Amino acid sequence: MAEPRPFDDIRDLTRNMPTADMDIYETVLNSARALGSGLSPLGKLDQSLAWLASWQGQDAPTVLRPLIAVFAGTHGVAAQVYEGDIIDAATKRVQSLTEGQSAVRGIAANSGAAFKVYEFGLEHPSADFTKSASLSERECAAAIAFGMEVVAEGADVIVLGSAGLGAATAAAAIARGLYGGAAEYWAGGSGENASKRIKAVETGAQMHKDHLDDPLEVLRIFGGRDLAGIVGAILAARHQRIPVILDGYVVCAAAAVLHKVNPESISHCLSAHISREPAHGALLDRMGVQPLFDLDLNIGDGTGGAFAMTMLKAASAGLMTLQDGVI
């Protein structure tokens, strides 16, 4: 018999997953549309509320214990894009998020959400994928397992964000590895850093072109620990039937890995928004996912997901009031 490999357990988790309760989905959807004297007080949010309830397994969707989880790591490829010490830059980015001023922390505090940053060895960058694979299979599987710990917080809704240095470059390389096309299509943008990012993705795609048939290998080669952790968080949430709200391009690239393995594996996920990242919309199209809104946000640290969570929390309260017959 073949020796078990680190990814074997991950593949098993993508095959055997709980599903949404579609009876609850239909019940909540029909209820939301029937209430409010035909005025459609919840608009298109009725579908999102039905989705939320179907995964929570209850007729009244709630957002009582939300968690905003931000994943951060240092990608070796960042040295191809940014000048200076990438470890220092990554550390300062996380410190700014946890100790400085950030919109996502303010939204979390205002909405009663827990806020936690998951650090994936900021001082130990993943390998530069223009020179070798970012991680070994064992390292990637370990990072996935660490990301699964997010469900231990006891949240009823999880918002996923990213603050990794070089993570957008890794996300572009993952998208290119999963779907093909030109590096510029997935890594494009404006400014000097954009041209460097395109070049890095081109170099990595060429170097690893013979090893991109397996989505988990694409993750291992390009993703780094934080993106692998996001994959783990999404998987663990699915097995705990916890609805997940995806933030920007980086988080959606991690979700795309699972979608490529099994298209049904991210049906418990909602895309919060479409960001200003040029290829974010294309990535969502490949996954067949519609974003909840477009506010022209240009950050992927969970801010957009926090807005979406707050909106769903308010809409859930509105639905409950309608069901109680107050208005």
Residue 108 near residue 114 (C-beta atoms within 8 A): yes
Q: Is the pLDDT of residue 1 over 60?
A: no
Q: Which of 133-137, 275-279, 282-286 bottoms out in mean pLDDT, i.e. has the lowest?
A: 275-279
Portion of the chain with pLDDT greater than 70, in percent: 95
Q: Is the pLDDT of residue 311 over 90?
A: yes
| In-domain check, residue 60 | no
The rounded mean pLDDT for the chain is 93
Cα angle 68, 70, 71 (rounded to 5 degrees) comes to: 150
| In-domain check, residue 299 | yes
Q: Give how many domains the chain has, as a whole number.
A: 1
Each residue of 183-214: pLDDT tens digit?
999 998 766 788 999 999 999 999 999 999 99
Each residue of 208-262: pLDDT tens digit?
999 999 999 999 999 999 999 999 999 999 999 999 999 999 999 999 999 999 9
| In-domain check, residue 153 | yes
What is the DSSP secondary-structure string of 281-310?
A: HHHHHHHT---SB-------SSHHHHHHHH
In 3D space, the residue among 123, 222, 221 whose CA is nearest the CA of residue 169 turns out to be 222
Which helix (H) or strand (E) segment holds residue 160: the answer is strand 157-162
Phi/psi at 287 (5° precision): -90, -5
| In-domain check, residue 161 | yes
| In-domain check, residue 41 | no
Q: How far apart are the first and last CA of the chain?
A: 65
For residue 60, give both structure tokens.
Answer: 């009244």
pLDDT, residue 16, reads: 87
Quick one: pLDDT band at residue 327, thresholds 50, 70, 90?
Answer: very low
Q: Find the mean pLDDT for residues 2-14.
A: 86
Which helix (H) or strand (E) segment holds residue 236: the answer is helix 224-239
Each residue of 37-48: pLDDT tens digit?
666 778 889 999
Q: Is the pLDDT of residue 169 over 80?
A: yes
Q: Is the pLDDT of residue 300 over 80?
A: yes
For residue 277, give both structure tokens.
Answer: 């990242």
Each residue of 91-134: pLDDT tens digit?
999 999 998 789 999 999 999 999 999 999 999 999 999 999 99
Q: Is the pLDDT of residue 282 over 90?
A: yes
| In-domain check, residue 222 | yes
Whether this prediction's pTM lies above 0.85 is answered by yes
| CA 156 to chain centroid | 16
Q: At a CB cut-off of 8 Å and minimum separation 6, what does 154 contact?
A: 65
Quick one: pLDDT band at residue 321, thresholds 50, 70, 90?
Answer: confident
| In-domain check, residue 3 | no
Parent domain of 307: 65-323
Quick one: pLDDT band at residue 36, thresholds 50, 70, 90?
Answer: low
pLDDT, residue 71, reads: 98
Q: Find the mean pLDDT for residues 13-30.
A: 94
In 3D space, the residue among 230, 264, 235 whose CA is nearest the CA of residue 247 turns out to be 230
For residue 162, give the CATH number of its domain.
3.40.50.10210
Name the residue with tokens 């639905």: 319
pLDDT, residue 190, reads: 65
Neighbours of 118 (CB within 10 A): 21
| In-domain check, residue 56 | no
